[in-house]
Amino acid sequence: MLQPLAYLHDSELVARFQRRCGLVLVEAARHDRSRGRTRAPTGTPVHNGGQREGSPDHQDQNSNFKHKENGCAVSACSRPQYEVRNWPLHFLFLFSAGLGHELFYITCLPCIHWSLDPFLCRRLVNMWTLVMYVGQVMKDVLKLPRPLSPPVVKLEPRVDAEYGLPSTHAMAATAISFTVLLSAPSRIQFQFEVGLLIALTLSSLVCLSRLYTGMHSVLDVICGALISSVILFLTYPYWEAFDRFQLTSSVSPVAALSLPLLLSYTYPELDRYTTTRGDTTTILGAGAGCSVGYWVNQQLGQTFEPQRGALPVALPALTANALALGGARFLVGVAALLGTRLVAKTASLRALYSWYGVAGNDAGARRRREIEVPYKFVTYTTVGLVNSILVNRVFLLLGLL
């Protein structure tokens, strides 16, 4: 049983996939250290001062032949670290990987609320928040390393310090694609087979992109998709009941704010800093803000759900006027969310720095739990509230609905 798992977790398996897709390492690793110089041929892991090969520290210092000098990541030489031989696949996988980043969540997901159906957006946000929290916690509990470089090319160094299993990109892609597929038939008229094909295609592209970017092993991706599928299967029978509680219960807004905040503060501690706690707080905060916003809309009797007749309704026609209105909503909505994010982030950080007596130029202050958790939670809760309550009302004032 362990042998197949070790095979699926092997870095060389990821490197072979990258080479087949036209992404190839072209440099040898080279480390200048105070005790001497270490050089290794391409495809050979570099051993660092007694660090265990495969450990997180070893992995961090061997990401695409980079090492630390005076605390800064330095490339081994000025030549390119990898060669792209298939540009169409390269851009396809980079775009697919982008579907799991913050920029996608803060721009494209709200468009479902603004231009399609707030009901679907609510379901998406609920499931996205749940699966991402589970995935992030599992990473920091299991502590399985990401693929090693070399032999793997790593295209996203920001998250390289995080642990690997499961792939939260794979989890989010599976949850988002199939939550829409399972929820949409009661709301929108469409051919289920076509929706299934789209869901499978999008989730598969995101999963494969994690191999192409070198950030996950095959085992990470498979486990991510399977865990997300299990969560969908176990929670699906309760979606309707949760909808009623979320929209009508007087306890809903209190639970929506207190539980995510508690989960953010009790996130598992690590022996080194990674971005997972901050990213998880971001997700929980956005989910909390949206949840409270949906409850407020329900109490005000203005949910902005489709009013075009009995459900399920037909998909709106893609006329020039509809596309223009959709584009205008996108630009106004994204500007509102990004502006809210900037203001809330700046204000919360200044307040926390003042409270804890921290200098504004202290780069490490944001990593402290007592600062990172509240500033991210406040920032993204505010973003969620603006998305779910205010943006559609701005559209009404501007005549965009």
Residue 55 has pLDDT above 50, yes or no: no
DSSP string, 62-126: TTTSEEEETTEEEESSSS-SEEES-HHHHHHHHHHHHTTSHHHHHHHHHHHHHHT-HHHHHHHHH
Q: What is the mean pLDDT of the chain?
A: 82
Residue 175 has pLDDT above 70, yes or no: yes
- As a whole number of angstroms, the distance between CA 326 and CA 277 comes to 35
Q: For 148-152, 229-233, 359-363, which range has the lowest pLDDT when averaged over its residues?
A: 359-363
Query: Which band of pLDDT confidence, cut at 50, 70 and 90, is reported for residue 320?
Result: confident
pLDDT digits (tens, 9 = 90+) for 261-301: 999 999 988 878 888 888 899 999 999 999 999 999 999 98
Query: Which band of pLDDT confidence, cut at 50, 70 and 90, is reported for residue 322?
Result: confident
Query: Which band of pLDDT confidence, cut at 50, 70 and 90, is reported for residue 51?
Result: very low
Say whether the peptide bond before residue 110 is cis (omega within 30 degrees of 0). no
In the chain, the largest separation of any two C-alpha atoms, in whole Å, equals: 76
Residue 30: beta bridge partners?
39
Instruction: Give the pLDDT confidence score for residue 383 in this predicted structure.
Output: 93
Instruction: Tell me the mean pLDDT in the region 120-149.
Output: 91
From residue 320, alpha-carbon distances to 116, 324, 326, 327, 329 in Å are: 16, 6, 10, 10, 14
Say whether the peptide bond before residue 166 is cis (omega within 30 degrees of 0). yes
Better-predicted residue by pLDDT, 55 or 154: 154
Instruction: Give the pLDDT confidence score for residue 98 in this predicted structure.
Output: 85
**Cβ neighbours around 252 below 10 Å, total:** 19
For the annotated catalytic residues, the residue numbers are 169, 216
Say whether the peptide bond before residue 150 is cis (omega within 30 degrees of 0). yes
- How far out from the chain centre does Cα 305 lie? 27
CA angle 382, 385, 391 (to 5 degrees): 115
Instruction: Give the pLDDT confidence score for residue 363 in this predicted structure.
Output: 72
Kindly give the pairing relationship between strand 188-189 and strand 313-314.
Answer: parallel
157, 212 contact by CB (below 8 A):
no
264, 281 contact by CB (below 8 A):
yes
185's CB contacts (< 8 A; 6+ apart) are: 192, 312
Nearest alpha carbon to residue 348 among 330, 324, 329, 370:
370
Q: 3-class DSSP state for residue 123? A: helix
Domain ranges within the chain, ordered by starting residue: 1-24+86-238, 25-84, 249-306+317-401
Place of tokens 């996130």: 267
From residue 160, alpha-carbon distances to 124, 155, 256, 275, 349 in Å are: 27, 9, 31, 10, 26
Instruction: At 55, give phi and psi (nearest 5°).
Output: -75, 160
336, 392 contact by CB (below 8 A):
no
CA angle 240, 244, 250 (to 5 degrees): 155
CATH architecture of 1-24+86-238: Up-down Bundle (1.20)
333, 386 contact by CB (below 8 A):
no
Query: Which band of pLDDT confidence, cut at 50, 70 and 90, is reported for residue 314?
Result: confident
DSSP 237: G
Q: 3-class DSSP state for residue 206? A: helix
State both tokens at 66. 């980079």
Count the residues in the chain.
401
**pTM over the 0.95 mark:** no
Instruction: Give the pLDDT confidence score for residue 36 in this predicted structure.
Output: 43
Kindly give the pairing relationship between strand 29-33 and strand 23-25.
Answer: unpaired
- As a whole number of angstroms, the distance between CA 311 and CA 298 comes to 18
Residue 34 has pLDDT above 70, yes or no: no
Instruction: Tell me the mean pLDDT in the region 378-394.
Output: 93
- As a whole number of angstroms, the distance between CA 151 and CA 294 comes to 47
